[in-house]
Amino acid sequence: MTLVRRCFAVDLHGDPERIARYRAWHAAGAVPAAVSAAIRGDGVASLEIWLTGDRLFMIMEQDAEAAEDDAAKQARDAANPDVRAWDALMRSFQKPLPFAPEQTWVEMERIYAMSEQV
């Protein structure tokens, strides 16, 4: 299996109490098992979310074939009530990035790799 690294960003509403609740929902063991199973089922081998201020960065390693089939993932998510409920809950904490007002978790473009430098 070939893995690809994908990175995403989204903002949180800037209220410290809401950010604390978002963090609590992501503590070890807090994410519903069905949601973690769905993520793994999408070929995700590794996933981390990093926070600075009110901005989140998600870094994941995903099976390359699964990464290319976003339509299938969206269909699976739409058919999974646990994933739909989790997504709705998480969206209540998130706000779109200023340049992408209609979506959350915007995929980022890699523009630098030290391994490619001399």
Per-residue pLDDT for 70 more than 90? no
**To the nearest whole percent, how much of the chain has pLDDT over 70?**
100
pTM confidence score: 0.92
Catalytically active residues, by annotation: 13
CB-count exposure of residue 60 (10 Å: 0-12, 13-18, 19+): buried
Q: What is the mean pLDDT of residues 82-98?
A: 96
106-118: pLDDT as tens digits: 999 999 999 999 9
3-30: pLDDT as tens digits: 999 999 999 999 999 999 999 999 999 9
Which structural domains are found in the chain, ordered by start?
A: 3-106 (3.30.70)
Per-residue pLDDT for 67 more than 90? yes
